[in-house]
Chain A
Amino acid sequence: MSAGPSSIQPLSARTVSLLQASQSLPSLPATLSYLLLHLLELAPAASQLSITLDPARWAVKIQLDGEGLEPAAYDQVAACQGLGLVGRVGLLELEGRNRTGAQRTCIVKVRLKHAQPAVANPLTRHDPPQGGTVLHDSTSITGSLRQGTTLKLRDLFYNVWSPSRRPSRPPRSRPAPC
């Protein structure tokens, strides 16, 4: 039996990916725990963990010292797997210096953004995300980064707006009583 025009169609891969991410990351604390657990798994030699919380901007910055992440970790971020799952619902930037061997140093920067929608969403407070998935991905021998890993997440849930996660705008001020 051929599928008619009113038959149920499967969701697009991008929508399924977004639903999976939003199901696993329902809130800012859950996202923070997800990032911390994955980072500590990827960098077991770290000795100091520094976290900068900015709930007003829905942003988190995590800094880990130690030997840094392996290049495979950045590949996971670029492929939206593992640690990069957060990149589906936020803007994720991962950078660091990794010493692999005696004299080799890798510097990789990855920033994920979803494709720009055809129509800008008037409900979002921030500017619509610009196009592209991996904005920057590079590896170099020299750089100014110190050894370790820095992860920056901002604009969490910019594309998963819901009242329980993130209000789209600050509540309107009520008129003063007469």
Chain B
Amino acid sequence: MLIVDRYLEQVPVRRRSAPSQAALQARCLRFVEQLSLSHFWLAFRVWEPGKEDPLWRVQAVRGHPSPPVASPFATEHQLTSSDTFDAQASSAEERFAQLHGSALLKTPTTIAASSPSSSSQTLLRLTGFISLSATHSRSTEYFSLNHRPLTSPDSALHTLIADLFANSAFAERAQAETEPGLSAASPVKLGRGAANERSPRKAVRRPVYVLDLTVPPNQVIWEGGSGDAVDFEVRTTLTPPLRERGANRAPPLTPPLDAGLAQSQGLRHQRRPRLS
């Protein structure tokens, strides 16, 4: 019999890697919040043991049809046009307002885009909204795939949207809204890694969006069940044939976003390898 006690006791880094209870609860709440933004038809309540009032709750969006169009774990599914196309975008705004208030929903642009194919089936669909109220935080970037939230803010799709946002008319208008006094002599760059004479962090604007990308589930490979690992590739039969592929070479999502996505020939997202 071999008993090992006080394992890694002298390695404080390992011991401190265990998250606290508050950190665990915050991470769980963050995922529930992300999940609620892709499941508008559900009312969510999170409780703490022994407490009478819920810790966190959100009501169901009224009038939103259920169940979801494409389930995350379905193996065979054909995306078809439906009347819920625009309803999902408006429901995303309403659910976002329930969570963060309507202040960040300044002139939101509803996104309802799809990539048509030769048949009546839809191979790629993007719904949601993007607001002109840029923020300094990354907590208002919500992206889900087949109603399944991509939890990591550093995912390739989040990075892609942030880069496109920084170079789009959205960012220019957001800059004008948030920094009306800025002149051309002291420009403030928007997007990832931007810097100016002031604090570089203060100069960075993050987009506010809730987007749900729907692809045929049989083309999605889910790794595990943690929700932050996904690898999918969508190939359409549109002409001209696909020339380049990759997250960094994806089609631009500059306004109008629907046109940008409709012209997409392929989109690939792959999980970034973990460093540890």
Contacts and interface: CB of A to CB of B under 8 A. Distances in A.
A15 interface: no
A52 B48 CA distance: 6
Contact of B225 (A33, A55, A163): A33
Interface stretch (B60-68, B104-112, B131-139, B180-188): B60-68
A164 B16 CA distance: 8
Contacts of A123: 3-5
B1 interface: yes
Interface stretch (A20-28, A97-105, A127-135): A20-28
A54 B51 CA distance: 11
A151 interface: no
A33 B8 contact: no
B50 to A, nearest CB: 9
A49 B225 contact: no
Contacts of B39: 40
B143 to A, nearest CB: 15
Nearest to B1: A119
B71 A44 contact: yes
Interface string A38-71: 1011001111111111111100000000000000
Contacts of B27: 27-29
Contacts of B1: 119
A10 interface: no
Given A30-B225, A30-B227, A46-B42, A165 B47 contact: no
A65 B5 CA distance: 45
Interface in B55-99: 55, 60, 66-68, 71-74
Interface stretch (B28-36, B153-161, B235-243): B28-36
Contacts of A4: none
Contact of B224 (A23, A40, A165): A23
Given A49-B43, A50-B45, A52-B48, A36 B71 contact: no
B254 to A, nearest CB: 32
Interface in A110-144: 119, 122-123
A41 B73 contact: yes
Contacts of B25: 53, 55
Given A34-B225, A37-B72, A28 B28 contact: yes
Contact of B47 (A29, A32, A53, A164): A53
Given A34-B227, A49-B44, A122 B3 contact: yes
A167 B3 CA distance: 16
Contact of B18 (A23, A24, A119, A164): A164
A31 B169 CA distance: 40
B27 to A, nearest CB: 4
Contacts of B71: 41, 44
A32 B42 contact: no
Contact of B14 (A40, A44, A45, A163): A163
B49 interface: yes
A76 to B, nearest CB: 12
Given A163-B8, A166-B18, A33 B227 contact: yes
Contacts of B19: 27
B221 interface: no
A44 B67 CA distance: 6
A56 B28 CA distance: 13
A29 B42 contact: no
A28 B24 contact: yes
A45 B41 CA distance: 10
A29 B14 contact: no
Nearest to B225: A34
Contacts of B74: 41
Given A119-B1, A166-B18, 12 more contacts: A27-B19, A28-B28, A29-B27, A29-B30, A30-B228, A32-B32, A44-B68, A51-B45, A52-B46, A57-B49, A163-B17, A163-B18
17 contacts: A27-B19, A28-B28, A32-B32, A40-B42, A41-B71, A45-B66, A47-B60, A48-B43, A49-B43, A50-B47, A51-B46, A51-B47, A52-B49, A55-B25, A163-B17, A164-B18, A166-B18
